[in-house]
Amino acid sequence: MLILPENADHAGILGRMKITLVRGDITQQATDVVVNAANSSLLGGGGVDGAIHRHGGPEILAECRQLRASRYGKGLPTGQAVATTAGKLPARWVIHTVGPVHSVKEDRSGLLASCYRESLRVADELGARSVAFPAISTGVYRWPMEDAARIVLGTVRSADTRIDDVTFVLFDVEAYQTFERVLRGLGPTDEEIEAVLAARPSEHWEKLFALADALTDADLEVTWEGGPEPGEEGVSEMPHAIYSDALDAVLSVLVGLQVIVPFDWSAWHRATPLFPDGNGLDQAPVADAARLATTFIRAERFSEGTIQEAIQSGALHAILRRLRHWYQNERQ
Ligand code: AR6
């Protein structure tokens, strides 16, 4: 994380893309693009939409009307994006996108992610380099801020785009603090994790795979100690899992290889389809093997036996398999 001196309150350098969080008004942003949280009609509304048309002047609305008369006769569908002039705003273009209304019955997070992805795609087409986003759907459309922040920051960080400067403009302190907390919790990007793994010496990786290959079924047995004895009264030791020396050796090499990542694993594991069994890890970035390993190893401190779950569910083997594939075929 890098704190930028200028107008930015908080910024993270994440991969190639610089992500900046600011508290303020989107209409004041002097980025190439400002994104409007519009509605399908493209003809204006309240919140961000109202502010953009008010400060940008009638030129923006005139172009929106043309879009309705041509390409978007039925309106702009949710999750899509389209550009117009920025009128009198300090930006060069406004990209209008329509967020989904939040629903408790239906998961619309794909549409929310699409707003950001499509906006970046349109911005790329325009040749823009910097984009300012509001927290789409978190106002009139009622999306809970923390959930939105997680979806949005994850999407933008991993977007395939030439935009290298993204600003999130958060209207109030609470929204700003929520985005800041979620951004920190996301930890390093896939690229950053991979760079750390790639910098570890080959001997250490070879050692990991040799130890993993040598693991026997007996090494993967877990025994439990502690807990109340039959008939015992009073305080007794909490039950705890005892892992074999051979497995302990594998785990400590993983730690030494910096496979353990500083991030909010408890939030991540609730949202990822990779947890608990590692299904899909073969197709995921190697960084996810590190995140999954971190989750099991860190969680063991809080609830005994999570590493046993990783053994039994196949997650431990999936992690080792993904790391080996990366080491043999992808490591630069
Ligand atoms: N700058 C930055 N953020 C703002 C600003 C501003 N000037 N004004 C509000 N916010 P909303 P939505 C925050 O309602 O939920 C419109 O009527 C606000 O606190 O603008 O996607 C459209 O026409 C909130 O966190 O957008 C649609 O009908 C966030 O921006 C509908 O609202 C988004 O609030 C879209 O609803």
136 plus 279 within the same structural domain:
no
48: domain CATH number? 3.40.220.10
Please tell me the predicted confidence (pLDDT) of residue 302. 86
Last residue of a domain, one of 171, 186, 201: 186
pLDDT of residue 25 exceeding 50: yes
Same domain, 179 and 40: yes
Ligand 1 center–CA 116 separation, angstroms: 15
pLDDT of 231 over the 90 cut: no
Q: Could you tell which of 48, 136, 141, 179 is best to mutate to test the pocket of ligand 1, judged by most ligand atoms within 8 Å of the CB?
A: 48
pLDDT tens readout for residues 60-104 = 999 999 999 999 999 999 999 999 999 999 999 999 999 999 999
Looking at the structure, do residues 131 and 247 belong to the same domain, yes or no?
no
Measure 46 CA to ligand 1 centroid, in angstroms: 7
User: What's the chain's length in residues?
Assistant: 332
Cα 259 to middle of ligand 1, angstroms: 40
Q: So what's the pLDDT on residue 9?
A: 36
Same domain, 150 and 26: yes
Tell whether 220 and 116 lie within a shared domain. no
Pairwise CA distance, residues 3 & 258, whole Å: 25
3-state helix, strand, coil in the chain (%, to 5): 50, 15, 40
Query: Among candidates 118, 110, 182, which has minimal Cα distance to 145?
Result: 182
Ligand 1 proximity of 286 Cβ (cutoff 6 Å): no
- Tally of structural domains, the chain: 2
Question: Which range marks the domain in which residue 252 is found?
Answer: 191-330
Average pLDDT, the chain: 93
pLDDT tens digits for range 153-179: 999 998 999 999 999 999 999 999 999
pLDDT in tens, 241-282: 999 999 999 999 999 999 999 999 998 998 889 999 999 999
